[in-house]
Amino acid sequence: MKNPLSEKEGEIFPPSAFCQVGIVVRNIDETLKYYKKVFGFGPFEIREVDYPTATYYGETAGYRGKRAFFYLGPIQIELIELRDGKTIHEAFLREKGEGVHHLAFEVKDLEEGKRKAEEAGLKVIQSFTRPDGSGFAYVDSDRIGGVSFELIQRPARKT
């Protein structure tokens, strides 16, 4: 169900690597109930996340949250519910209310993606990296057009 990656030279956010739509919601359980009953979406995977070393505008801040995942065709939908910590999701909910927060792109090398993004004049405004190098980074792409873009490097599969 995943798009093939195609990272041509100079492409920080390869169009074919578009993999996820992220939605900030007030209450995941209530939203899933609605999405299942009225729209027939699912199955859902629900997860508690904890990113103690996550950065927020360059400073280590850390946050926890609740997440739900499901698929619409080949695209993963992520529902984001706040727990605590400083996040761009909290700012989004406070300023705009519930709704689509980001479009995400899967990359093979997060560090390289962050470096290329910064070389292109983008700022990494929130990020988290696991010991294996996987993780995510949001950039300030929303300053024109209003949409946050995220880079995701998936954890290596345990075999």
* Contacting positions for a copy of itself (CB under 8 A): 3, 8, 10-19, 21, 23-25, 30-31, 34-35, 38-41, 70-75, 79, 96-101, 103, 120-122, 141-142, 144-147, 149
Closest to a copy of itself by CB, 39 vs 132, is 39
> How many other C-beta atoms can be found within 10 angstroms of the C-beta atom of residue 103?
17
Closest to a copy of itself by CB, 16 vs 130, is 16
DSSP annotation of 157 reads P
**How big is the CA angle at 18 (ends 15 and 24), to the nearest 5 degrees?**
135
Using only C-alpha atoms, what is the Rg of the chain?
15
Q: How far is the CB of 158 from a copy of itself (least distance, A)?
A: 27
Closest to a copy of itself by CB, 108 vs 133, is 108
Q: How far is the CB of 32 from a copy of itself (least distance, A)?
A: 9
DSSP3 helix / strand / coil % (the chain, rounded to 5): 25, 40, 35
Closest C-alpha among 14, 20, 21, 22 to residue 107: 14
Closest to a copy of itself by CB, 23 vs 46, is 23
Q: How far is the CB of 49 from a copy of itself (least distance, A)?
A: 19
DSSP annotation of 156 reads P
Q: How far is the CB of 117 from a copy of itself (least distance, A)?
A: 9
